Amino acid sequence: MWKNLKRFFGFGHKNYVDIPDEERLAIIERSSLQVSRGVFYSTVIIITSFLPVFLLTGQEGKLFHPLAWTKTFILLVDALLVVTLAPVLISFFMKGRFKDDHANPITRVLERIYEPLIHWVMRWRKTTIGINILALAVSVPMLLSLGSEFMPPLDEQSILFMPVTLPDVSNAEAKRILQVQDKLIKSVPEVDKVLGKAGRASTATDNSPISMIETIIMLKPKSEWRAGLTKKDLINELDAKLQIPGVVNGWTQPIINRINMLATGIRTDVGIKVHGQSLDSIYAVSEQVKAALEGVPGVKDLYVEPVTGGKYLTVDVNRDALGRYGLTVDDVNGVVESAIGGSPIGQTIEGRRRFSINVRLAQDYRNSVERIRRIPIATAGFGTIPLSAVATVRFEDGPPMITSDNALLRGAVMFNVRDRDLGSTVQEAIDKVGRDLKLPNGYYLEWSGQYENLIRGQRTLLLIAPIVLVVIFLSLYLAFGSAREAFLSLITIPFALIGGAYMVYFYGVNLSVAVAVGFIALFGIAVETGVVMVIYLNDAMKQLVARRGNSRETISLDELRESVIHGAAKRLRPKIMTVSVALFGLVPVLWASGVGSDVMLPIVLPMIGGVLTSSTHILLVTPLIFLMTKEYELKKFGKLDVLEASH
C-alpha cells in the first residue's frame, strides 16, 4: 500500500537534469515570449474591466473609487513587471539541476485526477455542454429571485434612536420623555452608554425642532451580549420597551442617518415626498399615503412628517383702543418683545468672548396666555393698563416648520425597512399607493431616501455592464488578434456568473452595488485564466502542425483530440496556480469580522463562487469547445487556423 501511495504521489522520483547556461537562458526566453503577451493582456483585461467602476457616482462612487484606483495602479505596475522584471528574476533564481515537471507530486496528482475527467468530457460532449447550460439557466432565476438594496448595511456598532413627538410638545415634556427613554434604554444589559438630545444643536446645519429627539446608543462588545442575540433582536426589544403614547419611534445608525439627511433630506431609509401648493392638502395626502403603507411587510417606523399642528402666540393689536390710551403699535410691540423675547441692555466680556445681556419677565409671569394678557403697559394719562386692554392674545395653529423643494411646498411620509430587502419593499409600497391613492391636481409624489440611491445605482450599472464586456472583448482581440479566440475566452464570463449567483443566493445576500462590483472584478479574473488556457491550447496545435503538417489528410481527429487533451493537461499546474492565487486572497474574507466585514462579504462572495465555476468551465469545457472549432476548421477548410502561441 505504501509503495502504491509513493507511486501515486511521485515520491522518490529523482530524474534531475543539468542544463547549460546558454540553453537555460534560451528556454527562459522562449517561455517568456510564449506567455508574456497573454499574461500582460490578462492583467490589462483585469484593469480595464474594473475601470467602469469609475462611472459610479454619489455614495457608491465615494466608497468604491479608492478600491478602483488602488487596484488599477497595482495592476499597471504588475503588467509592466510581467514583461520586464519577471524574466530577469527567473533567470537569476532558476539555476542548478532541474527536476522533470512530471516528477512534481502535486502535478502528478492533479494530472491523475484531471486526465480521466477531460477524456470523459471529450467522449460525452452533449452531456457536458448540457450540464453547463442547465447550471447557467438555473442561476439566472436564482439571481432574479434575490432581493435588492442600495448598499449592504454597515454595522456601526451603535444605534441611533430618533423618536418624534407632537409638534406642540413643551420643553418640559420633551425633557421628561428624553429622561424616561434614556432610563429604559440603559436598562438593557447590552447597552453601554446612552446620550440623548432634544431639539437642535448649536449649529446652523441642524434644523431639528424640539419635538425630534436623537439618542445615540453605544453597545457593549458582542462577546458580552446574551447568547443568540442579534442586533435586530436588540432593536426589537428596545422598540417594545419604548412604546410611549404620542411618540413615534425611529431606529437607524448615526453615520448613515447623517449621510441620508445630507444627500436626500430624508432621515429614514425611505421617504415619500409630497409636493403641492397647500400645507393642509399636503398633510391630507400624506395621511392617505401613510394609511396605504400600513401593513406592507418590511415597512417599519412609519410616520408623517408634521406640516401642521404647530402653536403660534398671536398678539392682535386693537388700534381703536390704542388711540384712546394714547399709545402706538410700536409701544405695544416693544413691551411684548422685551417681556417675552427679551431686550438687550448691554454686553459682558469674558476674555476674548462677548455675551449679550438680555432682560425679560420671569417665567412665572409669561408661562400662560392669561399671564401674558396681564403684562403691564405704562401710558401717559391712564397709568398702567394690562396688555389685554389694547390687544387680543391667543394661540393659533400653523406649520411647525415649512419645507420646500424646487420652489414647491413639501411634506413627507417616512419609514425604515427591516426584515426585508429595500427594493421589493418599496416596489410593493409603490404599487399599493398607486392603486389606493388619487392625487389632487397639482400634487405629486417623489420616492426618496436610500431608494433614490438604489435607482441611480441600478441605472449606472446597466450602463456599466455592456461597457465592461466590450472592453474585455477588445482587450482579448488585441491579445490574440482573432475574434474567434477572443470569443472563446469571453464565453467563460457567463459561466463565472453561475458560481457567483450560487454563492450570493445561499449566503442570503441581497443584490447591491457591492455585489455588482464583485461581479465586475470577477469577470476580469475569469478571463485571465481563460487566456492562459487558450495560449497552451494554441501551443499544442502549433506542435501538432509542426509534427504532422497542416492538412486534413495528415491530421486525424483522434490525433487532434489527443493534442488538445495534452495542451490542457500538461500545463495544468500554472492554470491551477492562477486560480489558487485568486482564491487564497479572497477566501479569508469569509471569516472576517468587525466593522466593514459586512460590506466586504457581498463583494467577495461572487468572486469566490465565480472563480470556482469559471475555472471548472475553463479546465473542462474550454478545451471541448476549442476541439469542436478545430474539428470544424479541419472538415470545412481542410486545415487548422493556427495562431502564434508566442503571444
Confidence of residue 203 (pLDDT cuts 50, 70, 90): low
CA distances from 288 to 74, 275, 293, 442 (A): 55, 14, 9, 16
Confidence of residue 321 (pLDDT cuts 50, 70, 90): confident
pLDDT score for 9: 45
Among 535, 529, 544, CA closest to 619: 529
pLDDT score for 11: 46
340: domain CATH number is 3.30.2090.10
- 442, amino acid identity: G
β-partners of residue 397 are: 311
What span, in angstroms and rounded, lies between the C-alpha atoms of 268 and 256? 9
190 with 45, same domain: the answer is no
Secondary structure (3-state) at 98 = strand
To 10 degrees, the CA torsion angle through 37, 38, 42, 43?
Answer: -30
205 with 333, same domain: the answer is no
- Dihedral over Cα of 431, 435, 436, 439: its sign: positive
pLDDT score for 257: 80
496 with 629, same domain: the answer is yes
pLDDT score for 2: 46
536: domain CATH number is 1.20.1640.10
CA distances from 474 to 466, 468, 644, 645, 647 (A): 12, 10, 18, 19, 16
Secondary structure (3-state) at 126 = helix
Confidence of residue 1 (pLDDT cuts 50, 70, 90): very low
140 with 74, same domain: the answer is no
Q: What is the pLDDT of residues 372-411, one digit of tens each?
A: 888 888 888 888 888 888 888 888 877 777 777 777 888 8
- 231, amino acid identity: K
In 3-state terms, the chain is what percent helix, strand and coil (to 5)? 60, 15, 25
61 with 131, same domain: the answer is no
> Into how many domains does the chain fold?
4
pLDDT score for 103: 66
What span, in angstroms and rounded, lies between the C-alpha atoms of 9 and 304? 71
Q: What is the pLDDT of residues 409-439, one digit of tens each?
A: 888 888 888 888 888 888 888 888 888 888 8
Rounded to an integer, what is the distance from CA 317 to the centroid of its chain? 59
Domain boundary among 323, 354, 385: 385
81 with 179, same domain: the answer is no
pLDDT score for 5: 45
**Side-chain-side CA neighbours of residue 109 (13 Å):** 9
236: domain CATH number is 3.30.70.1430
Task: Report the first-to-last Cα separation within the chain, whole angstroms.
Answer: 45
133 with 84, same domain: the answer is no
- For residue 371, pLDDT beyond 80: yes
162 with 141, same domain: the answer is no
Parent domain of 213: 157-252
128 with 177, same domain: the answer is no
243 with 339, same domain: the answer is no
User: Per the structure block, which three cell numbers stand in for 261?
Assistant: 439627511
Q: What is the pLDDT of residues 521-569, one digit of tens each?
A: 787 777 777 777 777 788 788 888 888 777 777 777 888 888 888 878 7
The answer to whether residue 472 is domain-embedded is: no
pLDDT score for 395: 85
Query: Who wins on pLDDT, 153 or 440?
Result: 440
What span, in angstroms and rounded, lies between the C-alpha atoms of 410 and 286? 10
DSSP letter at 511? B
Three-class secondary structure assignment of 363-400: HHHCCCHHHHHCCEEECCCCCEEEHHHCEEEEEEEECC
What span, in angstroms and rounded, lies between the C-alpha atoms of 128 and 115? 15
pLDDT score for 643: 65
Query: Who wins on pLDDT, 26 or 593?
Result: 26
Domain boundary among 252, 270, 304: 252
Q: What is the pLDDT of residues 238-290, one digit of tens each?
A: 888 888 887 888 888 888 888 777 777 777 888 888 888 888 888 888 888 88
Query: Who wins on pLDDT, 152 or 216?
Result: 216
Confidence of residue 141 (pLDDT cuts 50, 70, 90): confident
**Side-chain-side CA neighbours of residue 586 (13 Å):** 21
The answer to whether residue 418 is domain-embedded is: no
pLDDT score for 17: 66
The answer to whether residue 230 is domain-embedded is: yes
pLDDT score for 136: 81
The answer to whether residue 445 is domain-embedded is: no
- For residue 30, pLDDT beyond 50: yes
- For residue 49, pLDDT beyond 50: yes
Q: Using alpha carbons only, what angle is made at residue 175 by residues 170 and 180, rounded to the nearest 5 degrees?
A: 125
136 with 216, same domain: the answer is no
What span, in angstroms and rounded, lies between the C-alpha atoms of 515 and 603? 5
What span, in angstroms and rounded, lies between the C-alpha atoms of 60 and 514? 8
Among 450, 454, 460, 444, CA closest to 406: 444
Q: What phi and psi, each to the nearest 5 degrees, are found at residue 284? A: -65, -45
Contact at 8 Å (CB) between 605 and 503? yes
234 with 136, same domain: the answer is no
The answer to whether residue 261 is domain-embedded is: no
Q: What phi and psi, each to the nearest 5 degrees, are found at residue 638? A: 80, 0
The overall average pLDDT reported for the chain is 80
Q: Is 207 left (phi over 0), alpha (psi -120 to 50) or beta?
A: alpha
Domain boundary among 329, 352, 385: 385
Secondary structure (3-state) at 475 = helix
Contact at 8 Å (CB) between 423 and 149? yes
